[in-house]
Structure formats: structure tokens, C-alpha cells
Structure 1
Amino acid sequence: MANEVIVAYKGFDKDLKCRDFQYEVGKEYVHEGEVKACNEGFHCCEYPLDVFGYYPPAGARFAVIEASGKVDRESDKLACEKIGIKAEIGLPGIIKAAIDFTFSRAKKADGDQSKDERGAASSTGDWGAASSTGDYGAASSTGYQGAASSTGDYGAASSTGDYGAASSTGNRGAASSTGNRGAASSTGDYGAASSTGDYGAASSTGDWGAASSTGDWGAAMASGYEGKVMGTDGNALFLVERNEDHEIIDVWAGVVGKDGIKPNVWYSLKDGRPVEI
């Protein structure tokens, strides 16, 4: 047990609730009584992607928080006496936070590749490549036409330059592409792919995965079991419906803003129809 102030991250349901407790951005809360991880107190995660173990990327909301007072750590989470909800951040924000966290703590690797857990790889030049293969790792490519790949579970890959690509293949991983004409791909279960640049594409092929496209004229596709997609006006959405044997039973394509498809709303395919999640 310790008294300290910690910047951490927390997941919530769509209503910004956790364990039926209603939170609000900008508010602070105090727990009365014992503080014990997995039992009593407000819970959060110091490593951003650990929140995916409790709230999958699709449909959840995430915030950066400040934990203080009595703090008790266990495994991948901590319980605290006081919590302040500082700011809500979307999926790209969680991915960026994971990369910043990893780079601030990772050992320096030779070249642009890291194989250690929580390792970090960065490529900042044009046409560069960065690869992270350990669990909880992070790969970042910021140059024009660069590529970032994370293959371990709970990993993060970010590409911020135009025409860049980010790929996450581990379970509960996340890939983000913020440059124009970029691509983000997530193939692991419970993974997430986010494309925020114009003409971008996000693809999620793992089960219970999520893909979002929020730039202009982009596209998002989810082809795994119970996958989800979301986009802003004018973006194309693609969904595949599978049965419990993972056989394809239906497909759907649409454009946000047409035929009742709403912007910034998650959709999944049920009985051949897109359903709000």
C-alpha cells in the first residue's frame, strides 16, 4: 500500500460506467474504506493497452486518469483511493499512450526491431520500418510511406506519415494509421484498427475485433466473428456475419450518412442487417 499520484488509464462501457458506477469527465471521486486490488477501490491500469483485458476496443470508452491517495497494485491493474477523470481519449489516443509509455521504459534495441516484452521500435525516416514482436510491445513509424508492425499480444502499432501502414497481429492488439491514404490492420482476436487520415482504410479480421475510419473518404471492414465497424459521414463500412462455427452466412456494405447509417456509431451484422452496438 502506498500514497502516491499516478497517471493511468481506465476503460468504461458506452455510458462511461464501470461496475455500475457512473463517472464523468472532469470529476474526482473518493472511495471510503479499504483499498484492495480486485476487491475495493477505483481500478485502473498503468499500461494503456492493459485496459483491453477488461474492456475490448470496440464499443468501450477510455480515459486518462489520475490515481492518488492509497494505492494497491496487483498484476496488470491497481486500485486507488482517489480518482480524477482527466480526459476521454479514443482508440488512437490509447495507442499513442501505449507507444509513449513503452518508449519511456523500454531498453534501447539495436536497429529498428525489438523482440523483448514491452520492447519498442521506432522509425522516423521516410520509407522506414519498425517491428515489435514481444508481448506488450510498441512500434511507431512517423515517416512518409513507413510501416509499423506489432506481433505480440496487447501490442500497439502506429503509423503517422502519409501512405503509411500499421499492423497488429496479436490478440487484444491495436493498430492506428493517422496519415492520409494510410492503412491499419488488426488480425488478432479482440483487436482494434483505427484509420483517421483521409482516404485511409482500417481492417479487423480477428474475432470480436473492431475497425474504425474517421477521416474523409475512408473505409472500415470487420470480417471476424461478431466484428464491429464505425465511421464518420462519407466513409464506407463493410461487415461479415458468421455463425458459431465461423462460417460466413451474410455480408453487408454501406456508406455512413446513407440508409440510416449513423456517424460515430458502432455496427455489427445480425441476421443480415447492421445493428447498432
Structure 2
Amino acid sequence: MKLATFARIAKQLAIEFAAPASVAIAYTIVSESRNGNGWDLIDALAKFSSAFFLSSWLLSQVFRVAKQHRTDDHFTTIQTNLASLLEQIESRTNHLLSNITGGDSYCFLMFLELNRLRKHSDELGKATLLLQRLGQYPISELSIWIVDRDLELPEGAGVGDIAKRGKHIEIGGFARRRKVLTQSLTFDASSNEKCFDIYLSAMNGTIHQKIWVQRIEGQWLVASRVEKDGIVLLDSVDSSFPRTDDGDVAWW
């Protein structure tokens, strides 16, 4: 054993046994001083040994309990820091994934310039399409199908059958807040009313949008409802759009 190592061990032992030795010496002196027969070496050593052993044991228990408390506090701190770290990792991972998939962001369409029709025909409706995104994350792999509800569909037709008969617009990635699409929507306006189902499919799910347009006194009015998994995300209705007695739009 190296001298430096031995010196450190000896120093540590001296520190740990200093208090028990002091207590044992004090006890021995007091005890022997009260003994009327004077000091007896054997008796003094026995008293010192007993006092030293007892005080060493008591102090070791105190140190053990104190150390256990420090250890428990240390583990509690580690656990708290680890939980905080895991929350940060989860938050950053979700943020990263949301930037890839789109997270809780969604898109919907708005019909613009409906009232700027060709003067020579009241049977033709034409809408400029504005694509808008709500949410902080960009949308990935976005495709849009616009379906006229007046289309004759086979009984029991599903979303896929309906989409195949609609107008398809492929967008791909969409990081902007809004964009006027180069594609417009032309429809038969002879009945002064039209309903559309719009499906906006992206990596983070499919949005179902209902758009209902009505021409009243020569002006086109628009009502729009945006849903996902049956939950209404957004309603936008012109103030003059016809409503039920309850003040609601009679959505299909």
C-alpha cells in the first residue's frame, strides 16, 4: 500500500473515531473520579472499551441514517430531473414528428369570387379556390377531392367511390398559411343552389368539409363546415345565409 493511501485511510479513521474516543475518555475520567478506591487500570480500560464501543455504534447509526436521508434526497432529485428530461424529450419528439406529419394542423377550402360570373349566363357558377391552413405545423402529402352531391352514386357508395367522381387536386406539402389555387371550380348554377363534399387527405388524417352555396337575389351566399372524425372544427356561414328556426344551418 502506498504511503499516501495509508495516510488518507489513517486520517479518515482518525476523523471517524475522534468523537467516540472523546466520549469514551470523558466517561472513563468521570467514572473513575467518582470511584473512592482510586484509579484501577483494568477497570478504566473496561469502562473505556464499553463506552467507546457504545458511542461508536450510536454515532455510526446516526451517520447511517443521515447518509440514507442524503441518498434518498439524491435519488429524489435524480428522479425529478429524469422525469423532466423525459418530458422534454417527449415534447421535442412530438414537435419533430408533428413537423413531419402535420400534427394537429388542418387545411380547408374557401370559395372566392362567386359573384363574378359571366354576364351572359346565369347557369354557370365559378369559384376561385383559396386553400387555408390552421395550426403551427406544415401539412404533408395533401390531396383534395371536391365532390358535387348532385352526382348520381351507386347505393352504398363509400368515400373512395365518391372521391373518384369528384374533382381531384394534388397539393403535396403545404407550409403556407393560405394560397389561391390555380385550379378553379365550375359548377351548374341553374338551380341557384349547390352542395359539395370536400375531402382533404394528408399524412395526419382526412378532413371532411361541407360547402353549401345558394344564390339569393342575385348574390351567392356560402356556408362551410369543417369536420374531422365527426368533430366540428370550424363553421363559417354568411350572415344572410338561410337558417332553420333554431338559427342553425340545416347541414346534411
What range is the shorter-chain TM-score in? under 0.3
Higher relative contact order at CA 8 Å, sep ≥6: structure 1 or structure 2? 2
TM-score using structure 1 length? 0.21
As a proportion of its length, which structure holds more helix?
2
Higher-Rg structure is 2
Higher strand residue share: 1
